[in-house]
Amino acid sequence: MPEPIVFGFPQSTYVRTVRLTCVEKGIPYSLEPLGFSSDRLADLHPFGRIPAFRHGDVSLYETTAICRYIDAAFAGPPLLPPGAGGQARTEQWISVINAYVDPPVIRDIVVERLTRPLQGQPVDEAKCTAAIPRAAHALGVIDTALTGQAFLGGDGVSLADFFLLPIIYYFRQLPEGIEMLPRLPHLEFWYERMRNRPSFAATAPPPPGER
């Protein structure tokens, strides 16, 4: 069986989630850079998003599906906690990150401040400001969840942590994150734990806009 291929550009938070999963699982993989407008992507993902994924004759898209596949198909440390309750709780956090953290933090604030200038477009300050309360509420819920446990899934690292890490990585570089994150101490401690793991450096993205 050939090694898995992750398709997408390394600045994407969801591409980094898949790469973190590969590294933490201890499997070799290759990253094939693909932009949103490539014809190749249209063949791999009918909705034109990244990442896409291939492992032998298994082709997948959507990050939750790809990460679960990697966790289940390869030997290596399990990336979901044991038991129906713990696994469902982890799934809940992944869903919370996708539905309530990613939209205000990435789609509103990070895209405005990091992507728009590269496209020669002005930053929509009103959009950033409007996103702050939603970002604060969602990250506050996560901060509370991290009271008394090291990782989102419990005592051990899990897929949920790999969904959150790439988002916080960008957010802490921006004024809204620099203001908000120090008031979320459990999330801050979690970030320290995460960035000391070898997978953090192994998946560090190049600056936005760099090929």
In this complex, which beta carbon is closest to a second copy, that of residue 92 or of residue 121?
92
Q: Of the listed pieces 3-11, 63-71, 104-112, 165-173, which binds a second copy according to CB under 8 A? A: 63-71
Distance between CA atoms of residues 130 and 111, nearest Å: 14
The token pair that represents 148 in the structure block: 């008394």
Decide if residue 46 touches a second copy (CB under 8 A). Answer: yes
Which of 36, 4, 39, 3 has its CA nearest to residue 18?
A: 4
Closest of 11, 5, 115 to residue 66, by C-alpha: 5
The angle at the Cα of 24, spanning 63 to 76, to the nearest 5 degrees, equals 105
Which of 15, 41, 66, 110 contacts a second copy by CB under 8 A?
Answer: 66
- Total residues at the site for a second copy (CB under 8 A)? 28
Taking CB under 8 A as the criterion, the residue among 89, 135, 158, 171 binding a second copy is 89
Please, what is the minimum distance in Å from the beta carbon of residue 148 to a second copy? 16
In sequence order, which ranges of the chain are alpha helices (DSSP H)? Answer: 13-25, 39-44, 63-73, 84-96, 102, 125-145, 159-171, 175-180, 185-195, 198-202
| Two structure tokens written together for 18 | 């898949």
Query: Which of these ranges, 57-65, 103-111, 113-121, 168-176, lies near a second copy under the rule CB under 8 A?
Result: 57-65
Name the burial class of residue 188, with classes exposed (0-12), middle (13-18) and buried (19+) by CB atoms within 10 angstroms of its CB: middle
Residue number with CB closer to a second copy (54 or 172): 54
Q: What is the DSSP letter of 29?
A: -
Q: Which stretch binds a second copy (CB under 8 A): 31-39, 59-67, 120-128, 167-175?
A: 59-67
Binding pattern to a second copy, positions 130-149, x when CB under 8 A?
Answer: -------xx--x--------
Residues that bind a second copy (CB under 8 A): 46-47, 58, 60-66, 68-69, 72-73, 84-85, 87-89, 91-92, 95-96, 99-100, 137-138, 141
